[in-house]
């Protein structure tokens, strides 16, 4: 086939460093950018095959999210804007690691296994973040797409969720919206403006929000979006990339893990602040109280705020739709307790990784999912959207029901249902606070987080740890779970679990308890148990205090 000759010819220009092997992990490939040129070219090839197989447009995003600036990575986006199907992750790994002379046979293997029609047209959307390596790496993606005869559209600098959105718009023939950045802003901002029309007497002070853009793409895109907001929101952007380094001491991951304000932002008592991550698919909020004490409102607090709002609207609208919140084991115990016992909503716990949460959320009429780290969104079933739509157009219902139905409709439009989206989540949260006339302090007081601690332990092979029950219990190595259970018993309100990370070569330890000292001590003791029973390497974990 002529195209294969082209692939062979071109692939020599994107050579694979001998001996290098990388894995398509939880969030695609991620590594130091110098190792990634061949990966990008080959993911261009894979996206063409995926496009032929699904007879749809596929997306490729060049980004390494919250990783340091030197790193880069690539994520593939499936037809409805969701993450690449798990069955294709192994093809991605196979293509990435094939030696030069094995490349064509690797492509043929996928074509045969998947029964792909080679004559089918292929189309791939490409986007990139602001890293200095992203320009040449996205060119390598495009080279791969063209070498295999695919059509491409290069969106240039976009956030990861914007690219997911474009793919979904394209494959729904515009039903989800216009597949342009302008179309994205228009849809979200119009819905936001309609929603805040329900907020009475919002002062300029209440409309003010400080945003830490992590010196990345989120800052650029937020600036573009603001011009569509008609002053409904007053945003001051910090860490906008004009001087600081991407993700360096700033951004959502830094704020969540370090539990402190990022550098480059002035936080005065009462200011409402939020941080995006490096590709703007995560968001966390925070503020400093009058004593200058830092308070974090993470994914769990966001899920609680959004699900409370939606549940109230569903009741007001008189709609009998089932709402559920999907979390992972990292969700703070207080949030789960509040959702289940005070709000009486169904709570599901899944394994770590957005694809698991997204999948579980699809089972409900309204599925709110958030990882504690701030990645999340809301999914509405087709049936739920139809019911809301019908009610919003029903002229026989009373004003209260009508208003609730219209607000639900705007909520659906402000949300990016394809994936967690910092810009979209920010608009929804801001609208809810404005409508409820709620300050960030009041939001924070809905429930009080249990003090918690996350630690990492290095072991020689983290795969010796196997877990069950959505990663909340370890089934191997022998004796580990028993040791954790015995330690947990010695603290009040305590919970702890361990699991191998899917993105780093470490075992993660999580502990929570009634006080910070107890959470820290428990996390340390569990780390020691991991170190001793699961083949710890290097120095024994030291106590935190």
How near is the Cβ of 503 to Mg ion at its closest, in Å? 11
Q: Between the CA atoms of 190, 195, 199 and 202, what dihedral angle is there, to the nearest 10 degrees?
A: -40
3 state SS of 47: helix
Write the secondary structure of 284-345 as one string of H (helix), E (strand) and C (coil): EEEEECCCCCEEEECHHHHHHHHHHHHHHHHHHHCCCCCEEEEEECCCCHHHHHHHHHHCCC
Which residue has tokens 């830092």? 294
Residue 65 binds Mg ion (CB under 5 A): yes
Is 371 annotated as belonging to a binding site?
Answer: yes
CB 62 within 8 A of CB 29: no
Closer residue to ligand GN1 in complex, CB, 238/330: 330
Interacting partner of 251 out of Mg ion, ligand GN1, none (Cβ under 5 to 8 A depending on kind): none
Helix axes 134-147, 2-11, angle to 10 degrees: 160
Residue 279 binds Mg ion (CB under 5 A): yes
- Any bridge partners for residue 237, and if so which? 211
Residue 509 binds ligand GN1 (CB under 6 A): no
Q: Do the strands 452-457 and 507-512 form a parallel or antiparallel pair, or are they unpaired?
A: antiparallel
Q: Which of 88, 165, 330, 491 binds ligand GN1 (CB under 6 A)?
A: 330
Interface of this chain with ligand GN1, residues 6 to 45, rule: CB under 6 A: 26-27
Interacting partner of 353 out of Mg ion, ligand GN1, none (Cβ under 5 to 8 A depending on kind): ligand GN1
- Any bridge partners for residue 369, and if so which? 326, 377
How near is the Cβ of 279 to Mg ion at its closest, in Å? 4
* Cis amide prior to 477 (ω within 30 degrees): yes
Closer residue to ligand GN1 in complex, CB, 162/411: 162
Q: Which of 78, 82, 371, 421 binds ligand GN1 (CB under 6 A)?
A: 371
Distance of CA 15 to CAs 141, 255, 455, 475, Å?
13, 38, 38, 42
How near is the Cβ of 511 to Mg ion at its closest, in Å? 25
**How many secondary structure helices (H) and strands (E) does the chain include?**
18, 19
Nearest-5° Cα angle at 430, 428 to 431: 65
How near is the Cβ of 282 to ligand GN1 at its closest, in Å? 8
Instruction: Pick the piece of the chain touching ligand GN1 (CB under 6 A) from 39-47, 184-192, 333-341, 351-359.
Output: 351-359
Closer residue to Mg ion in complex, CB, 100/501: 501
- Return d(Cα 427, Cα 476) in angstroms, integer: 43
Interface of this chain with Mg ion, residues 393 to 412, rule: CB under 5 A: none
How near is the Cβ of 330 to ligand GN1 at its closest, in Å? 5
* Per-residue b or e along 369-408, where b marks 16 or more CB atoms closer than 10 Å to that residue's CB: bbbbbbbbbbbbbeebbebbeebbeeeebeeebbbbbbbb
Residue 373 binds ligand GN1 (CB under 6 A): yes
- Any bridge partners for residue 347, and if so which? 325
Interacting partner of 279 out of Mg ion, ligand GN1, none (Cβ under 5 to 8 A depending on kind): Mg ion
Residue 71 binds Mg ion (CB under 5 A): no
How near is the Cβ of 461 to Mg ion at its closest, in Å? 28
Q: What are phi and psi of 160, to 5 degrees?
A: -55, -50
Under DSSP, the state recorded for 389 is H
Q: Which of 183, 333, 477, 502 binds ligand GN1 (CB under 6 A)?
A: 502
Is 444 annotated as belonging to a binding site?
Answer: no
Is 373 annotated as belonging to a binding site?
Answer: yes
CB 45 within 8 A of CB 95: yes
Closest residue to Mg ion: CB criterion = 65
How near is the Cβ of 64 to ligand GN1 at its closest, in Å? 10
Residue 65 annotated to the active site: yes
- Return d(Cα 363, Cα 349) in angstroms, integer: 13
- Return d(Cα 515, Cα 494) in angstroms, integer: 9
Is 503 annotated as belonging to a binding site?
Answer: yes
Is 272 annotated as belonging to a binding site?
Answer: no
Task: Look at the alpha carbons of 250, 159, 377, 32 in this order and tell me if their dihedral is positive or negative.
Answer: negative
Is 65 annotated as belonging to a binding site?
Answer: yes
Residue 353 binds ligand GN1 (CB under 6 A): yes
Closer residue to ligand GN1 in complex, CB, 144/420: 420
Q: How far is CA 253 from the centre of its chain?
A: 11
Q: Which of 37, 71, 143, 277 binds Mg ion (CB under 5 A)?
A: 277
How near is the Cβ of 409 to ligand GN1 at its closest, in Å? 30
Residue 503 binds ligand GN1 (CB under 6 A): yes
Instruction: Pick the piece of the chain touching Mg ion (CB under 5 A) from 62-70, 81-89, 200-208, 297-305.
Output: 62-70
Of 33, 51, 65, 307, catalytic: 65
Interacting partner of 304 out of Mg ion, ligand GN1, none (Cβ under 5 to 8 A depending on kind): none
- Return d(Cα 82, Cα 51) in angstroms, integer: 14
Interface of this chain with ligand GN1, residues 144 to 173, rule: CB under 6 A: none
Residue ranges that bind Mg ion, judged by CB under 5 A: 65, 277, 279, 281
For the annotated binding site, the residues are 65, 277, 279, 281, 371-373, 499-503, 508
Residue ranges that bind ligand GN1, judged by CB under 6 A: 26-27, 330, 352-354, 371, 373, 501-504, 508
For the annotated binding site for substrate, the residues are 371-373, 499-503, 508
For the annotated binding site for Mg(2+), the residues are 65, 277, 279, 281
Please identify every residue annotated as catalytic: 65
């Amino acid at each position: 086939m002529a195209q294969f000759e082209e692939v062979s010819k071109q692939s020599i220009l994107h050579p694979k460093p001998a001996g290098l092997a990388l894995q398509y992990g939880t969030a695609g490939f991620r590594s130091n950018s110098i190792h990634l040129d061949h990966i990008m070219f080959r993911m261009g090839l894979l996206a063409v095959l995926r496009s032929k197989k699904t007879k749809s447009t596929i997306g490729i995003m060049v980004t390494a999210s919250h990783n340091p600036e030197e790193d880069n990575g690539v994520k593939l986006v499936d037809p409805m804007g969701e993450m690449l199907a798990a069955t294709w992750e192994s093809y991605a790994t196979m293509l990435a690691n094939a030696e030069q002379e094995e490349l064509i046979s690797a492509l043929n293997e996928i074509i045969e296994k998947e029964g792909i029609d080679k004559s089918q047209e292929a189309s791939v959307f490409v986007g990139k973040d602001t890293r200095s390596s992203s320009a040449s790496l996205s060119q390598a993606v495009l080279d791969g797409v063209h070498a295999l005869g695919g059509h491409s559209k290069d969106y240039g600098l976009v956030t990861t969720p914007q690219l997911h959105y474009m793919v979904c718009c394209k494959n729904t023939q515009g039903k989800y919206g216009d597949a342009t950045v302008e179309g994205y802003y228009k849809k979200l901002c119009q819905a936001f403006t309609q929603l805040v029309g329900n907020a009475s007497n919002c002062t300029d002070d209440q409309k003010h929000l400080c945003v830490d853009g992590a010196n990345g793409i989120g800052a650029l895109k937020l600036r573009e979006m603001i011009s569509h907001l008609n002053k409904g929101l007053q945003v001051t952007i910090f860490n906008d990339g004009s001087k600081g380094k991407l993700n360096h001491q700033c951004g959502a991951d830094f704020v969540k893990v370090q539990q402190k304000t990022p550098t480059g932002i002035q936080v005065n008592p009462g200011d409402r602040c939020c941080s995006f991550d490096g590709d703007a698919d995560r968001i966390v909020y925070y503020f400093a109280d009058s004593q200058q004490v830092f308070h974090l409102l993470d994914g769990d607090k966001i899920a609680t705020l959004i699900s409370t709002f939606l549940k109230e609207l569903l009741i007001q609208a008189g709609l009998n739709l089932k709402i559920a919140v999907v979390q992972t084991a990292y969700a703070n115990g207080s949030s789960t307790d509040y959702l289940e016992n005070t709000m009486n909503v169904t709570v599901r716990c899944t394994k770590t990784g957005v694809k698991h949460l997204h999948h579980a959320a699809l089972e409900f009429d309204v599925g709110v999912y958030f990882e504690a780290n701030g990645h999340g969104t809301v999914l509405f079933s087709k049936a739920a959207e139809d019911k809301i739509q019908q009610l919003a157009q029903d002229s026989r219902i009373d004003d209260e029901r009508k208003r609730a139905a219209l607000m639900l409709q705007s909520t659906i439009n402000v949300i990016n249902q394809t994936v967690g989206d910092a810009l979209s989540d920010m608009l929804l949260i801001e609208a809810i606070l404005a409508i409820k006339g709620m300050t960030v302090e009041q939001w924070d007081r809905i429930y009080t987080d249990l003090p918690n601690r996350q630690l990492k332990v290095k072991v020689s092979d983290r795969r010796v740890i196997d877990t069950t029950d959505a990663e909340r219990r370890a089934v191997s190595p022998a004796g580990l779970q028993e040791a954790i259970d015995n330690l947990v018993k010695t603290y009040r309100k305590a919970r702890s679990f361990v699991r191998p990370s899917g993105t780093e070569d470490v075992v993660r330890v999580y502990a929570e308890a009634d006080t910070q000292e107890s959470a820290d001590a428990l996390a340390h003791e569990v780390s020691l148990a991991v170190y001793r029973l699961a083949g710890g390497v290097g120095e024994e974990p030291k106590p935190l205090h």
